[in-house]
């Protein structure tokens, strides 16, 4: 019984890895997890793996409720799949997303 509890405790301490849905390269893990934003369908992380490339060109978000937000697109360096975005300038109600990596739940496994 005690060994089973120790195994469960060890498993809970291990981070879960997020992988690109296209080529399955690791893109981040739960050790940098901030939150799940169910409304916008994304996972927010503080940091990402080296396999994530950031397009330095800033764009204005066209998503509903995000008008005026400046974002940079995140890509997988392995397969070039669009993974999400990083928010560089936000409206006051979206400040919690600023400088966080926002992965679309459809782009990661």
Q: Is residue 38 part of a domain?
A: yes
> Tens digit of pLDDT for each residue in 25-78?
999 999 999 999 888 899 999 999 999 999 999 999 888 888 789 999 999 999
Q: Is residue 31 part of a domain?
A: yes
* CATH number of the CATH domain containing 88: 2.170.150.20
> Which residues are registered as beta bridge partners of 74?
54, 84
The predicted model scores a pTM of 0.82
Could you list the residue range(s) of the whole structural domain that residue 85 is in? Answer: 16-107
Work out how many domains the chain is built from and give that number. Answer: 1
Q: What is the pLDDT of residue 10?
A: 57
Q: Is residue 51 part of a domain?
A: yes
Q: Is residue 84 part of a domain?
A: yes
> Tens digit of pLDDT for each residue in 73-106?
999 999 999 999 999 999 888 899 999 999 999 9
- CB-CB neighbours of 69 under 10 Å: 20
What pLDDT band is residue 23 in, cutting at 50, 70 and 90? Answer: very high
- CB-CB neighbours of 38 under 10 Å: 8
């Amino acid at each position: 019984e005690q060994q089973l509890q120790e195994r469960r405790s060890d498993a809970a301490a291990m981070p879960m890895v997020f992988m690109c849905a296209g080529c399955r390269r690791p893109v981040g893990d739960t050790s940098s997890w901030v939150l799940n934003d169910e409304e916008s369908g994304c996972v927010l992380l503080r940091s990402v793996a080296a396999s994530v490339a950031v397009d330095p060109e800033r764009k204005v978000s066209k998503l509903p409720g995000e008008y005026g937000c400046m974002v940079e697109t995140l890509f997988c360096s392995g397969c070039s799949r669009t993974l999400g975005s990083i928010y560089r300038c936000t409206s006051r109600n979206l400040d919690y997303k600023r400088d966080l990596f926002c992965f679309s739940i459809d782009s990661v496994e």
